[in-house]
Amino acid sequence: MSNPIGDPGHGDSPAAWTAVTIMLVAFTLGTLFFILNMPILVWASVGLLLVGLLVGWIMAKAGYGVRGPKYAAKEH
């Protein structure tokens, strides 16, 4: 199936992968800390989640996003 010109892709870029990895770790740790009743660390995990979002945004602005000049999509 071809990729229409207006389709931004599925976020398969270094910026997206980095952001999702950081946020997945934050969510996993937050869940663990919630189960272990450690509210300070749950809130620290929320902070890490926001850091992941910020890192993804910064990397996209730096050119590592889907349409960034430092990212070349691989042909399938």
Can you spell out the DSSP letters for 4-29? -TT---SS-SHHHHHHHHHHHHHHHH
Mean pLDDT of the chain: 86
| Amino acid (one-letter) located at 55 | V
Q: What is the pLDDT of residue 6?
A: 59
Tell me the CA distances in angstroms from 35 to 5, 16, 31, 51, 52, one per residue in order: 46, 28, 6, 22, 22
- pLDDT exceeds 70 at position 3: no
The whole-model pTM stands at 0.79
Q: How far apart are CA 27 and CA 10, in angstroms?
A: 21
